C-alpha cells in the first residue's frame, strides 16, 4: 500500500478524461492483436459485444466474445464483492498477459471499457482501419468510481431541430466521457418536437414555424402549419425514432430525461390547440399578442381543468416512451400577467384559496407532481418551481445561480446543479471558459454534509436560440464537456487544472478522430492593445491546441491558411491593427482577434463630469458608424448603461467623451452587451464586441499614464434583453462598473 501511494504521487497520469480516482502504474505493456479474445458472459456479455464494436473500425480485428478463459485476453467480469465501487465503479488491471475489468454492475464495466479505449493509442477512435500500429496499453491498475450519480448534458432541439443521426452522435460523445444522463429539451416556444398521437396538431402545426429574418427572435414566432406553403423550419421525432434513441442511449448506460415544457414557453402549444389559452377581455389579449409579435401568448391557462388534462394526456404517452425515473416539466420563465386578468385563472385561485399567481403556478406543478408520483415517476423542474411553494416530490434543477439548489437541498429536496455561472454552454467561452467549468464543485459550501447528499450531480445546458448547426453545437460543447465530465466524476481533491490541460492536449486528438468540431481558442496577445512605439510589439502566447499555428494580417483582412505564421513580435510603423487566428492542422480556425496598434495621447480639454449620449432608432445587425448619430439629440450622463431603455427594441446608442486615468498603471476595461457593442480609444477600435448575440463580455488591458483619453462606446439592440456594461479595473480600483469620476466631456 505504501509503494502504491508513492507511485500515485510520482507517476504521470495517462491522458485519461475524466481522471480516475486511483491509478497505479505497473511494469510493461499489453498489446492488442488479432488473436486477442474478449471474455464476457451473462450480464457482462453486452458490454463485451460493445467493446468489440468499439475496437473493430480502427484495428480491423474481428475479436470473438467468448465465455472460455484465454491467455492474453480482455476479460470483463461482474463481481459484487466490492460494494464501495457502487453501481458505476470498476477495477481495471492491465498486465502484459492480459486485461481484466471487474465491476459490481454492467455500467461499471462499460466505464472501464471507456478507460481502456483511452489507454490505447488515440487512433483507436478512428472510423476506418489504421495499419502499421501497435495497439498497446500501459500496464496499470485503476480503481475508479464517480463522485456524482447525475452526470449530464442537455440539448435544446426546440429552437433548432437536430436529426436522429446527430442525437446518436451526441450520445456517443457522452459515453466516451462517462456521462450518464441526456436531458432532451423537446418542447419550447420554438417548436414541439415529439409525436403525440392523441394530439396530432402538435406536430402538424407546432413543429413548424415561419423562418425568421434573424437566426432567432423571441418575437415573430408564427406557426402556420406544415402544408401552409410558407417558408418553414422545424421537424419532429416520431415515437419509433424516440424509442430507437432511448434504446441507443440505454445500450451506452445513458438515461434520456425528456423535458415537456409547461405552463410557460408554450407558444407552439397554443398555436396547435388555442383552446388552452387564457380568456381575458379581447382587447387585453389582442394588445398582449401585438406586443410580443407572436401568434399566441407563451403561457397556457393554468386555471382550466382542460389544460391539466391535456398535459397529463401528453405525459401518458411520454411515460410509455421514456423509462427514466425523472420527467422534466420545465416550469421556468412563465409570464403570469394574463393569469392576473383571466377569469378562469382567477376562479381557480379563489376556489383553491391561492393568494397570487405564483401560488397558481405552484398549484399547477403540484398537480403534475402528484400525478407523476402515482405513476411511479418523479417530477423535475427548473428552480422557478420553488416559487409559490415546492411540490412534495419535486426535484429542482438550479439554473439561476445556486441559490435555488441550496434552498431546495436545505428543505430536503433533491437537486441537480446547472448554474449559468458554470454550466450554460451556449454562453461564449469568454464568459464561461473551460477552466471555469473544470473548477466547478456541484456541492455549495453553504450545505452541511447531510444536506449535500441531496445534490445528485450537475449538468451543462446547450440552448440553441443562436446555435443553428451541429458544428456550432460541437464547438460550444467541447472541450468544456470534457472539463465537466471530470468535474462530476473525479473527486474534487483529485482535480488539477494544470494536469488536466496537459491530458487535454492528447484528448484533442481523440476529438479530431471522433469528428468533433471543437472550439479552438483564439490567439492570446501578451497585451490587448499596443501603443505605437512600444518596443515589445504585438506578441502572442503559444496555442493550447497541439499542431496548430497562429496566422496574422496587418492590412485589416481576415487571416487565412495562407497568411504569415506568427514567429515573433510584430511591429507596425504607423497606427493599425494586427488580426490573428489559430489554425488547426485540418484547416479549421478559431475566432479572429484584433490587436490595435494606436497612437493615444492624454488630453487636458475635458471640463464637465459625464459623457455625451445619443440614441437613434432603427433595425441594425451591427454597430452603426459614429457619423450615424450626428443628428441625434445629445444629453450628458454619468453612467454607461441602457437600463432606462429596458423593454425597448431596435435602437442604437453612442457614448462619447473622455476616460480619466487617475494614475499611471495597467488598466483593464471590460465591455459587455446584448446585442453588439464596440469601444474606441482615440480613433482606433479597442474592443470589438459587435454582431447580434446574447450577453457577451470582452476585455481590453493596456498600460496608461495619468490623464484624460478620448473614448467612444456604441451599442445596438435588436430585441430581447437590453444590456450594456462597461467595467474598469486598475490601480486602487477593483473590477466594477466604470465610476462617474472617470467619465468626462468637453461641455
Beta-carbon contacts of 363 under 8 Å, excluding residues fewer than 6 positions away, are 302, 348, 352, 354, 388
- Whether pLDDT at 544 is above 80: yes
DSSP letters spanning 5-37: HHHHHHSPPPS-SSPPSEEEEEEEEEEE-TT--
Phi, psi of 464 (to 5 degrees): -115, 25
Residue 473 grid cell: 453545437
- For residues 208-231, average pLDDT: 89
* Residue that terminates a domain, selected from 479, 498, 513: 513
Residue 103 grid cell: 465491476
Rounded-to-integer distance, Cα 471 and Cα 320, Å: 32
- Whether pLDDT at 5 is above 70: no
Rounded-to-integer distance, Cα 171 and Cα 508, Å: 18
Rounded-to-integer distance, Cα 253 and Cα 172, Å: 11
Provide the pLDDT confidence category of residue 529 given band limits of 50, 70 and 90: confident
Beta-carbon contacts of 53 under 8 Å, excluding residues fewer than 6 positions away, are none
DSSP label at residue 179: -
Full residue range of the structural domain in which residue 98 is found = 2-144
Number of domains observed in the structure of the chain: 4
Question: Does 455 lie in the same domain as 336?
Answer: yes
- For residues 185-210, average pLDDT: 97
Rounded-to-integer distance, Cα 176 and Cα 167, Å: 15
Query: Does 375 map to a domain?
Result: yes
Residue found by looking up cell 498600460 in the block = 703
Question: Does 545 lie in the same domain as 690?
Answer: no
Cβ(307)–Cβ(263) below 8 Å: yes
The three-state secondary structure class of 643 is helix
Alpha carbons within 13 angstroms on the beta-carbon side of residue 668 total 13
- For residues 206-235, average pLDDT: 90
List, for residues 613-623, the tens digit of each pLDDT value: 999 999 998 99
Query: Does 383 map to a domain?
Result: yes
Question: Does 733 lie in the same domain as 629?
Answer: yes
Question: Does 175 lie in the same domain as 284?
Answer: yes
Rounded-to-integer distance, Cα 667 and Cα 705, Å: 10
* Residue among 697, 698, 466, 465 at smallest CA distance from 594: 698
Query: Does 150 map to a domain?
Result: no
Q: What is the pLDDT of residue 11?
A: 58
Q: How many CB atoms lie within 10 A of CB 305?
A: 11
* Residue among 506, 516, 414 at smallest CA distance from 457: 414
Query: Does 138 map to a domain?
Result: yes
- For residues 715-732, average pLDDT: 90
- CB burial string 334-353: b at 16+ within 10 A, e below: bebebbeebebbbebbeeee
DSSP letters spanning 474-533: HHHHTTHHHHHHHHHHS-GGG--HHHHHHHHHHHHHHHHHTT-----PPP-BSSS-EETT
- Whether pLDDT at 642 is above 70: yes
> Which CATH number characterizes residue 479's domain?
3.20.20.80
- For residues 502-531, average pLDDT: 92
Residue found by looking up cell 481502456 in the block = 116
Question: Does 539 lie in the same domain as 448?
Answer: no
Beta-carbon contacts of 578 under 8 Å, excluding residues fewer than 6 positions away, are 538, 552, 553, 554, 570, 572, 594, 595, 597
- Whether pLDDT at 687 is above 70: yes
Question: Does 192 lie in the same domain as 209?
Answer: yes
The set of catalytic residues is 188, 265, 333
| pLDDT above 70: percentage of residues in the chain | 98
Rounded-to-integer distance, Cα 501 and Cα 482, Å: 11
> Which CATH number characterizes residue 550's domain?
2.60.40
- For residues 29-33, average pLDDT: 97
Residue 384 Cα to chain centre, angstroms = 20
DSSP label at residue 215: S
Residue 242 grid cell: 424516440
> Which CATH number characterizes residue 632's domain?
3.90.182.10
Query: Does 149 map to a domain?
Result: no
Query: Does 85 map to a domain?
Result: yes
Residue found by looking up cell 418542447 in the block = 187
| pLDDT above 90: percentage of residues in the chain | 81
- For residues 524-547, average pLDDT: 85
List, for residues 68-102, the tens digit of each pLDDT value: 988 889 999 999 888 899 999 999 999 999 999 99
Q: What is the pLDDT of residue 165?
A: 98
Phi, psi of 529 (to 5 degrees): -140, 140
Rounded-to-integer distance, Cα 175 and Cα 693, Å: 31
Lowest-confidence segment of 253-262, 442-451, 455-464, 577-586 by average pLDDT: 577-586
Residue 190 grid cell: 420554438
Question: Does 660 lie in the same domain as 589?
Answer: no
Query: Does 582 map to a domain?
Result: yes
Rounded-to-integer distance, Cα 445 and Cα 76, Å: 39
- For residues 204-213, average pLDDT: 93
Given the DSSP bridges, would you call strands 74-78 and 38-39 parallel, antiparallel or unpaired? Answer: parallel
- Whether pLDDT at 8 is above 50: no
- Sign (positive/negative) of CA torsion 5, 7, 11, 13? negative
Question: Does 216 lie in the same domain as 277?
Answer: yes
Rounded-to-integer distance, Cα 114 and Cα 175, Å: 8
- Whether pLDDT at 207 is above 90: yes
Question: Does 595 lie in the same domain as 612?
Answer: no
Q: What is the pLDDT of residue 598?
A: 84
* Residue that terminates a domain, selected from 541, 568, 599: 599
Average pLDDT of the chain, as a whole number = 93
Left, alpha or beta for 331 (phi > 0: left; psi -120 to 50: alpha)?
Answer: left
Provide the pLDDT confidence category of residue 722 given band limits of 50, 70 and 90: confident
Provide the pLDDT confidence category of residue 438 given band limits of 50, 70 and 90: very high
Alpha carbons within 13 angstroms on the beta-carbon side of residue 238 total 3
Residue 212 Cα to chain centre, angstroms = 24
- Sort 622 into a burial class: Cβ within 10 Å, 0-12 / 13-18 / 19+: middle
List, for residues 257-299, the tens digit of each pLDDT value: 999 999 999 999 999 999 999 999 999 999 998 888 898 999 9
Question: Does 112 lie in the same domain as 165?
Answer: no
Question: Does 298 lie in the same domain as 175?
Answer: yes
Query: Does 346 map to a domain?
Result: yes
* Residue that terminates a domain, selected from 599, 618, 652: 599
- Whether pLDDT at 4 is above 60: no
> Which CATH number characterizes residue 68's domain?
3.30.379.10
- Sort 536 into a burial class: Cβ within 10 Å, 0-12 / 13-18 / 19+: exposed
- Whether pLDDT at 726 is above 90: yes
Rounded-to-integer distance, Cα 527 and Cα 700, Å: 8
List, for residues 99-136, the tens digit of each pLDDT value: 999 999 999 999 999 999 999 999 999 999 999 899 99
Question: Does 340 lie in the same domain as 245?
Answer: yes
Terminal CA-CA length for the chain: 76
DSSP label at residue 726: E
Cβ(523)–Cβ(550) below 8 Å: yes
12: preceding bond cis by omega (within 30 degrees): no
Amino acid at each position: 500500500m505504501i509503494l502504491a501511494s508513492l507511485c500515485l504521487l510520482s507517476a504521470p497520469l495517462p491522458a485519461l478524461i475524466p481522471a480516475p480516482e486511483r491509478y497505479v502504474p505497473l511494469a510493461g505493456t499489453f498489446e492488442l492483436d488479432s488473436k486477442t479474445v474478449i471474455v464476457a458472459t451473462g450480464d457482462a456479455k453486452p458490454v463485451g459485444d460493445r467493446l468489440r464494436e468499439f475496437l473493430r473500425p480502427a484495428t480491423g480485428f474481428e475479436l470473438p466474445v467468448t465465455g472460455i478463459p484465454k491467455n492474453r485476453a480482455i476479460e470483463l467480469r461482474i463481481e459484487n464483492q466490492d460494494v464501495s465501487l457502487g453501481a458505476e465503479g470498476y477495477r481495471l488491471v492491465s498486465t502484459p498477459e492480459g486485461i481484466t475489468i471487474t465491476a459490481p454492475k454492467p455500467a461499471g464495466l462499460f466505464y472501464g471499457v471507456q478507460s481502456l479505449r483511452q489507454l490505447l493509442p488515440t487512433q483507436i477512435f478512428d472510423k476506418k482501419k489504421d495499419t502499421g500500429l501497435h495497439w498497446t496499453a500501459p500496464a496499470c491498475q485503476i480503481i475508479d468510481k464517480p463522485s456524482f450519480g447525475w452526470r449530464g448534458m442537455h440539448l435544446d432541439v426546440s429552437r433548432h431541430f437536430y436529426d436522429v443521426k446527430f442525437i446518436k452522435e451526441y450520445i456517443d460523445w457522452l459515453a466516451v466521457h462517462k456521462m450518464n444522463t441526456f436531458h432532451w429539451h423537446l418542447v419550447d416556444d420554438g417548436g414541439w418536437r415529439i409525436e403525440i398521437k392523441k394530439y396530432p396538431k402538435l406536430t402538424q402545426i407546432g413543429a413548424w414555424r415561419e423562418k425568421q429574418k434573424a437566426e432567432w427572435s423571441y418575437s415573430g414566432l408564427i406557426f402556420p402549419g406544415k402544408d401552409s406553403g410558407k417558408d418553414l423550419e422545424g421537424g419532429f421525432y416520431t415515437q419509433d425514432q424516440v424509442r430507437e434513441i432511448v434504446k441507443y442511449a440505454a445500450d451506452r448506460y445513458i438515461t434520456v430525461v425528456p423535458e415537456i415544457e409547461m405552463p410557460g414557453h408554450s407558444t407552439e402549444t397554443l398555436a396547435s390547440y388555442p383552446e388552452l389559452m387564457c380568456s381575458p377581455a379581447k382587447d387585453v389579449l389582442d394588445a398582449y399578442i401585438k406586443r410580443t409579435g407572436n401568434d399566441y401568448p407563451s403561457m397556457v391557462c393554468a386555471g382550466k381543468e382542460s389544460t391539466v388534462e391535456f398535459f397529463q394526456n401528453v405525459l401518458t404517452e411520454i411515460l410509455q416512451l421514456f423509462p427514466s425515473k425523472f420527467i422534466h416539466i420545465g416550469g421556468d420563465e412563465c409570464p403570469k400577467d394574463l393569469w392576473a386578468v383571466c377569469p378562469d385563472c382567477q376562479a381557480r385561485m379563489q376556489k383553491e384559496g391561492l393568494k397570487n399567481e405564483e401560488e397558481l403556478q405552484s398549484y399547477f406543478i403540484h398537480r403534475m407532481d402528484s400525478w407523476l408520483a402515482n405513476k411511479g415517476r418523479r417530477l423535475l423542474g427548473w428552480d422557478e418551481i420553488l416559487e409559490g411553494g415546492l411540490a412534495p416530490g419535486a426535484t429542482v434543477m438550479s439554473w439561476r445561480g445556486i441559490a435555488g439548489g441550496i434552498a431546495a437541498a436545505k428543505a430536503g429536496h433533491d437537486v441537480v446543479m446547472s448554474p449559468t455561472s458554470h454550466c450554460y454552454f451556449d454562453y461564449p467561452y469568454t464568459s464561461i471558459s473551460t477552466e471555469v467549468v473544470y473548477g466547478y464543485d456541484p456541492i455549495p459550501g453553504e450545505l452541511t454534509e447531510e444536506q449535500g447528499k441531496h445534490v445528485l450531480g450537475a449538468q451543462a445546458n446547450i440552448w440553441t436560440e443562436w446555435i443553428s448547426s451541429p458544428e456550432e453545437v460541437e464547438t460550444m460543447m467541447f472541450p468544456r464537456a470534457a472539463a465537466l465530465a471530470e468535474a462530476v466524476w473525479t473527486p474534487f481533491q483529485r482535480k488539477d487544472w494544470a494536469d488536466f490541460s496537459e491530458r487535454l492536449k492528447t484528448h484533442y486528438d481523440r476529438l479530431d478522430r471522433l469528428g468533433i468540431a471543437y472550439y479552438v481558442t483564439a490567439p492570446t496577445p501578451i497585451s490587448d492593445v499596443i501603443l505605437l512605439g512600444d518596443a515589445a510589439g504585438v506578441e502572442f502566447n503559444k496555442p493550447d491546441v497541439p499542431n496548430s499555428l497562429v496566422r496574422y494580417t496587418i492590412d485589416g483582412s481576415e487571416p487565412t491558411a495562407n497568411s504569415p505564421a506568427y514567429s515573433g513580435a510584430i511591429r507596425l510603423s504607423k497606427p493599425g491593427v494586427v488580426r490573428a487566428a489559430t489554425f488547426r492542422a485540418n484547416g479549421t480556425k478559431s475566432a479572429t482577434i484584433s490587436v490595435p496598434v494606436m497612437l493615444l495621447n492624454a488630453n487636458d480639454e475635458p471640463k464637465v463630469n459625464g459623457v455625451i449620449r445619443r440614441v437613434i432608432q432603427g433595425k441594425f445587425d451591427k454597430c452603426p458608424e459614429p457619423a450615424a448619430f450626428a443628428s441625434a439629440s445629445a444629453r450628458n450622463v454619468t453612467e454607461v448603461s441602457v437600463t432606462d431603455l429596458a423593454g425597448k427594441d431596435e435602437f442604437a446608442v453612442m457614448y462619447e467623451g473622455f476616460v480619466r486615468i487617475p494614475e499611471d498603471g495597467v488598466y483593464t476595461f471590460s465591455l459587455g452587451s446584448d446585442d453588439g457593442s464596440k469601444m474606441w480609444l482615440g480613433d482606433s477600435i479597442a474592443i470589438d464586441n459587435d454582431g447580434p448575440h446574447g450577453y457577451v463580455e470582452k476585455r481590453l488591458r493596456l498600460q496608461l499614464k495619468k490623464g484624460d483619453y478620448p473614448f467612444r462606446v456604441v451599442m445596438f439592440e435588436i430585441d430581447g434583453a437590453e444590456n450594456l456594461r462597461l467595467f474598469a479595473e486598475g490601480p486602487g480600483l477593483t473590477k466594477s462598473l466604470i465610476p462617474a469620476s472617470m467619465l468626462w466631456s468637453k461641455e
